[in-house]
Amino acid sequence: MIESVVGLLMFLSGDIKEARIQESMGSCLKHKRQAERQYNENVRYQCWSGEAELELNIDGSKSIKKIHIQ
């Protein structure tokens, strides 16, 4: 299923390694600040808003499977 979402992206050496769905952009920015407190020169975080292909987890939650860049 494809939906519009806000996601917190984690880049490791320039590649997206993790993408987490957030409730809102404000929530995303809060979690980004918390994550950046653990400094690592190879890791970068970015809040993103757009369409993504989601998958349903076994517990009923949704996760980002693929980001659609337009």
pLDDT in tens, 15-46: 999 999 999 999 999 999 999 999 888 999 99
Query: Residue 19 pairs with which residues in a beta bridge?
Result: 9
Query: Is-above-0.85 flag for pTM?
Result: yes
Average pLDDT, the chain: 93
Whole-number Cα distances in Å, 31 to 10, 13, 23: 11, 20, 11
pLDDT of residue 29: 97
Q: Report the DSSP pairing between strands 43-56 and 2-12.
A: antiparallel
Element (H, E) at 52: strand 43-56
Portion of the chain with pLDDT greater than 90, in percent = 83
Q: Which helix (H) or strand (E) holds 33?
A: helix 25-36
